[in-house]
């Protein structure tokens, strides 16, 4: 009798536990999901192409040595204006190159003297025309060698390739100038360009004359602009980019060598209806009506930094869930935890 009573008590307790668990599960499943809302806002949406670049003068040139020698003389002309051909630096030519020139000039003098002697003899018919022609040929060859050696020695002198300002100079007297090392940058400090590399998938949308917005770490609080000046016809097949030059205004605070972020404005939609990008999953959003959330398929326009343009299916007074609730069922009950400011 006692055992039967105990079994009944245990069975009743089990039913109570199961019922309680079921009730808790039902309460948990039917509990409204907590979401936050935003309302669409009106504003200008801009479609942009991003690139990064650096500031360069429009007109400039690098001066590099073509021989590896020690620097023996260098101008103190950084920031100064120079004329085309002005000497910027001299390399040590007191070496084999100078000795070779001396030897060739001595041979040239002997050849000239021999030609004069044979010319006089030929006039007296004491020398053949063949000997005279040979002497003239030998002199011509030596003169060519002298000219070539002088041209080689001239490479030991670094000159300004054009008139302009020495924008920068490197190297010091006594150092060895390595081949290809830039010792001077000569050009005009104005006008300036931003030179950037644009990905090949974006370049079809870029055109000369488009406006570009710039960001520079040196001028974080300033609105900087430029205009697309030119696009290189041939891209780089390795980096898959095209070089684009942007014309800066004359009063730009940017300086040569500064880096910039470039946003090329492709098109602008005025007074567009915008919602945050985090509220959109592909082309889907959730809007709240009453206490339920309903999924909407929307048509989007420009995806700008300040939001996504909505072209259909969402009204200006709609209550949009943000961020997009990926695990929320269509028609689920929701409770509002707060509204986000955009």
Residue 4's pLDDT is: 57
Residue 188's pLDDT is: 93
Give the rounded distance of the alpha carbon of 135 from its chain centre. Answer: 61
Residue 11's pLDDT is: 53
Residue 7's pLDDT is: 56
d(CA 213, CA 164): 29
Which whole number is the average pLDDT over 313-329? 88
Residue 342's pLDDT is: 45
Tens digits of residue pLDDT in 172-231: 998 998 988 999 999 999 999 999 999 999 999 999 999 999 999 999 989 899 999 999
pLDDT at 255 over 90: yes
Contact indicator for 293, 328 with CB cutoff of 8 Å: yes
pTM confidence score: 0.66
The fraction of the chain above a pLDDT of 90, given in percent, is 40
Residue 230's pLDDT is: 96
- Say whether domain 68-92+156-187 belongs to CATH 3.90.1150.10: no
Tens digits of residue pLDDT in 139-152: 888 888 877 777 67
Distances (CA, A) of 311 to 166, 185, 275: 55, 52, 11
pLDDT at 232 over 60: yes
d(CA 140, CA 146): 10
- Say whether domain 93-155 belongs to CATH 1.10.287: yes
d(CA 86, CA 186): 11
Which whole number is the average pLDDT over 98-117? 78
- Say whether domain 49-59+188-269 belongs to CATH 3.40.50.12780: no
Q: Which one, of 171, 176, 169, 161, lies nearest residue 95 by Cα?
A: 176
d(CA 93, CA 150): 11
Contact indicator for 226, 250 with CB cutoff of 8 Å: no
Residue 142's pLDDT is: 82
Q: Which helix (H) or strand (E) holds 37?
A: strand 33-38
Res. 19 pLDDT band, cuts 50 70 90: very low
Beta bridge partners of 293: 288
Give the CATH number of domain 33-43+271-339; options: 3.40.50.300, 2.40.420.20, 3.40.50.720, 1.10.260.40: 2.40.420.20
pLDDT at 16 over 70: no
pLDDT at 53 over 60: yes
Residue 161's pLDDT is: 92
pLDDT at 122 over 60: yes
What residue spans define the domains of the chain? 33-43+271-339, 49-59+188-269, 68-92+156-187, 93-155
**Token pair in block for residue 263:** 């946003």
Tens digits of residue pLDDT in 275-304: 898 989 988 999 999 888 899 998 988 887
Which whole number is the average pLDDT over 115-128? 76
Highest-confidence segment of 62-76, 196-210, 316-330:
196-210
**Averaged pLDDT of the chain:** 84
């Amino acid at each position: 009798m006692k055992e039967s009573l105990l079994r009944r008590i245990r069975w009743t307790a089990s039913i109570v536990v199961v019922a309680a668990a079921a009730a808790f599960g039902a309460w948990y499943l039917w509990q409204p999901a907590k979401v936050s809302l935003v309302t669409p806002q009106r504003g200008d949406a801009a479609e942009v192409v991003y690139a990064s670049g650096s500031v360069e003068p429009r007109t400039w040139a690098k001066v590099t040595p073509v021989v590896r020698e020690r620097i023996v003389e260098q101008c103190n002309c950084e920031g100064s204006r120079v004329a085309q051909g002005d000497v910027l630096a001299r390399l040590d030519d007191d070496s084999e190159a100078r000795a070779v020139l001396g030897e060739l000039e001595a041979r040239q003098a002997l050849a000239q003297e021999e030609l004069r002697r044979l010319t006089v003899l030929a006039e007296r018919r004491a020398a053949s025309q063949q000997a005279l022609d040979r002497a003239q040929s030998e002199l011509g060859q030596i003169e060519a060698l002298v000219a070539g050696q002088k041209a080689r020695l001239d490479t030991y002198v670094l000159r300004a390739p054009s008139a302009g300002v020495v924008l920068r100079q490197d190297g010091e007297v006594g150092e060895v100038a390595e081949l290809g090392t830039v010792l001077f940058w000569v050009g005009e400090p104005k006008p300036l360009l931003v030179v950037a590399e644009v990905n090949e998938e974006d370049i079809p949308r870029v055109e000369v004359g488009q406006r570009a917005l710039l960001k520079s770490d040196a001028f974080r609080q300033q609105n900087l602009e430029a205009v697309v000046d030119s696009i290189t016809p041939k891209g780089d097949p390795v980096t898959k980019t095209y070089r684009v030059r942007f014309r800066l205004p004359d009063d730009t605070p940017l300086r040569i060598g500064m880096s910039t972020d470039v946003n090329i404005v492709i098109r602008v939609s005025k007074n567009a209806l915008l919602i945050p990008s985090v509220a959109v999953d592909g082309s889907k959003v959730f809007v709240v009506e009453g206490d339920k959330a309903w999924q909407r398929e929307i048509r989007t326009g420009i995806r700008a930094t300040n939001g996504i343009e909505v072209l259909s299916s969402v009204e200006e007074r709609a209550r949009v869930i943000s961020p997009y609730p990926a695990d929320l069922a269509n028609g689920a009950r929701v409770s509002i935890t707060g509204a986000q400011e955009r």
